[in-house]
């Protein structure tokens, strides 16, 4: 797995374009007053233009690290260091493009096994160096960047060589897996044996098992498979006091759960080298169907009623009207037949008395034996119908399923044209979701007005639970040009985050805290909650060598 672009998302040879999507340029023109048909003018700097300080790596430390992981796996290469400087938050992308790099890691280390990870941590602690674990580098919360004023040597530990499925226990449906493996490679190795982990976050192609665990990740099929917090049973973590071994037992009452302390720990407790996770046989049948609801209220209510019913779909997702409009605008050039169908559909919906501006697109997935898929679908569609929803068949769902991992590339496309776009997601009880949504809409629109910039804000519900769901917001602005665009971005992002915590929701559903969300932590988990997290992190890492500054100071 090659590293991502140093200045943007994903593979070097993949990028987002409006050219094969005839509706998109007019849509963005209307939404953001931005003409994307003009080539982008805000290109990133060239690598050799960057002002990257020389690495500071005392000889004794370098020697110890080379002994620990092997000399060829201690890299001070400039590109390597630049790629490992930070993750892929909007703020990260902008600063990388600008060459704004106050603290580049001094070396990138690539341990090949747990013993190497242990030895490197010992060497780092001995030299009072900072150790930052690095999985896919897809963090959008600032979780992999050194603190700007860090005076100690900074070591980015790339876990990518630990990329093997070590064992599958078919009886227990557990797989022992090295933590540095990327999503696609993990699924390939599991798939060869007929298994899947069923964890598909949007970052899937560029994120790792260890990263998912360190940030409490969720995937599009988590309704059925569980979040990574549910999937992860056993763990091996190299900590300052040795290798933490969590047994892969299904449930235990051994005091406050150490397993759960590692989940979401963002590298502050140690280097996750291995996990034993729940896997399932690849399902004999799998469907993701598209549905339309007359409006957001009905779409939300349908998802809530499905969660309270005996139906158990594998995916539940509904977009609000703005996101529905965006989805339609990103459709690729339709065939003449598609056009006819689409006209017929519009006619039908108008006859039903729908306001097409309010219409909401939904995807619901079903998995398992053919009998079960039929049953789940029948149970679910009864509820969909009760809320005025209608099926639009399998092609939209298939399309979504295929292109979902391409979405992150759009930020670079917009940044080339100077427009920052990003996501913020939360979760709340079902009874509060309507209020949270309204509060975030108001906050976002308020921020656009305050800045006097064109902005777009859209949302979908995903990840249904017993008692609530995730609301996932995406926003973009065309900056005024009067201020630093990052400042304007920050006004919007902050308004949304503040609306989350003010309305009783959480600061993040599955993107973790890092530095981006740290300022809302106390408002979310309360002062005593912060004290408990501090007690755990500071007590485990008294020298503050492990990814300091993330989650809490």
Q: SS3 string of 119-172? A: HHHHHHHHCCCEEEEECCCCCCCCCCCCCCCCCCCEEEEECCCCCCEEEEECCC
Give 546's DSSP letter. Answer: B
Task: Give the residue with the Cβ less far from its own copies, 80 or 114.
Answer: 114
> Active-site residue 465, yes or no?
no
Task: Give the residue with the Cβ less far from its own copies, 349 or 544.
Answer: 544
Give 514's DSSP letter. Answer: T
Task: Give the residue with the Cβ less far from its own copies, 141 or 485.
Answer: 141
113 in Cβ contact with 162 (< 8 Å): yes
Is 45 exposed, middle or buried, given 0-12, 13-18 or 19+ CB atoms closer than 10 A? middle
Residues 6+ apart with CB under 8 A from 18: 24, 25, 28, 36, 37, 413
As measured in angstroms, the least distance from the Cβ of 186 to its own copies is: 18
As measured in angstroms, the least distance from the Cβ of 541 to its own copies is: 9
**How many whole angstroms separate alpha carbon 65 and alpha carbon 13?**
34
Identify the bridge partners of residue 329 per DSSP, sorted by sequence position: none
As measured in angstroms, the least distance from the Cβ of 169 to its own copies is: 5
As measured in angstroms, the least distance from the Cβ of 280 to its own copies is: 8
Residues 6+ apart with CB under 8 A from 180: 135, 158, 159, 160, 161, 162, 163, 208, 209, 210
Task: Give the residue with the Cβ less far from its own copies, 309 or 346.
Answer: 309
CA atoms within 13 A on the CB side of 36: 26
Task: Give 157-215 as a DSSP string.
Answer: EE-TT---EEEEETTTTEEEEETT-BHHHHHHHHHHTTEE-----TTGGG-BHHHHHHH
As measured in angstroms, the least distance from the Cβ of 467 to its own copies is: 5
Q: Which residue is catalytic, options 73, 366, 472, 489?
A: 472
Give the residue numbers marked as catalytic: 472
């Amino acid at each position: 797995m090659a590293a991502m672009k140093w200045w943007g998302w994903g593979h070097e040879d993949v990028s987002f374009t409006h050219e094969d999507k005839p509706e998109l340029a007019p849509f963005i023109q209307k939404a953001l007053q931005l003409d994307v048909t003009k080539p982008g003018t805000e290109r990133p700097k060239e690598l050799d233009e960057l002002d990257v300080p020389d690495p500071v790596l005392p000889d004794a430390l370098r020697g110890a690290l080379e002994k620990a992981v092997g000399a060829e796996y201690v890299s001070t290469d400039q590109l390597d260091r630049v790629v490992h400087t930070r993750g892929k938050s909007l703020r990260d992308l902008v600063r990388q493009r600008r060459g704004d790099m106050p603290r580049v890691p001094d070396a990138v280390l690539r341990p090949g096994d747990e013993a190497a990870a242990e030895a490197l941590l010992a060497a780092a602690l001995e030299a009072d160096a900072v150790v930052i674990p690095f999985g896919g580098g897809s963090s959008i919360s600032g979780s992999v960047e050194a603190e700007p004023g860090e005076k100690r040597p900074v070591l980015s530990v790339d876990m990518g060589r630990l990329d093997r499925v070590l064992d599958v226990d078919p009886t227990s449906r557990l797989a022992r897996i090295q933590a540095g493996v990327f999503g696609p490679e993990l699924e390939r190795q599991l798939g060869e044996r007929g298994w899947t982990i069923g964890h598909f976050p949007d970052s899937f192609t560029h994120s790792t098992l260890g990263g998912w665990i360190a940030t409490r990740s969720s995937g599009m099929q988590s309704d059925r498979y569980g979040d990574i917090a549910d999937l992860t049973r056993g763990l091996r973590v190299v900590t300052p006091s040795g290798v933490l071994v969590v047994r892969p037992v299904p449930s235990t009452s051994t005091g406050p759960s150490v397993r759960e302390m590692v989940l979401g720990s963002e590298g502050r407790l140690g280097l996750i080298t291995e996990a034993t996770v729940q896997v399932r046989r690849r399902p004999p049948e799998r469907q993701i169907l598209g549905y339309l609801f007359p409006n957001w209220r009905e779409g939300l209510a349908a998802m809530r009623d499905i969660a309270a019913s005996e139906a158990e779909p594998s995916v539940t997702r509904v977009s609000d009207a703005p996101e529905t409009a965006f989805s339609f605008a990103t459709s690729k050039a339709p065939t003449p037949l598609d056009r006819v169908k689409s006209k017929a559909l519009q006619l039908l919906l108008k006859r039903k008395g729908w306001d097409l501006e309010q219409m909401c697109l939904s995807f619901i997935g079903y998995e398992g034996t053919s009998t079960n898929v039929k049953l789940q679908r029948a149970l679910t569609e009864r509820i969909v119908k009760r809320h005025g929803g209608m099926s639009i068949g399998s092609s939209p769902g298939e399309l979504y399923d295929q292109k979902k991992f391409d979405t992150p590339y759009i930020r670079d496309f917009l940044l080339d044209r100077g427009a920052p776009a990003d996501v913020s997601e939360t979760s709340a009880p079902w009874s509060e979701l309507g209020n949270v949504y309204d509060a975030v809409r108001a906050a976002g629109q308020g921020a656009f007005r305050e800045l006097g910039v064109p902005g777009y804000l859209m949302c979908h519900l995903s990840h249904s639970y017993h008692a609530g769901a995730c609301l996932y917001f995406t926003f973009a602005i065309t900056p005024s040009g009067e201020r630093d665009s990052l400042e304007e971005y920050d006004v919007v992002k902050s308004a949304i985050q503040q609306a989350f915590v003010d309305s009783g929701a959480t600061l993040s559903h599955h993107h973790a805290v890092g530095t981006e969300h740290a300022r809302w932590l106390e408002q979310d988990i309360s002062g005593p909650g912060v004290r408990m997290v501090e007690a755990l992190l500071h007590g485990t890492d008294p020298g503050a060598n492990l990814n300091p500054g993330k989650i809490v100071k």
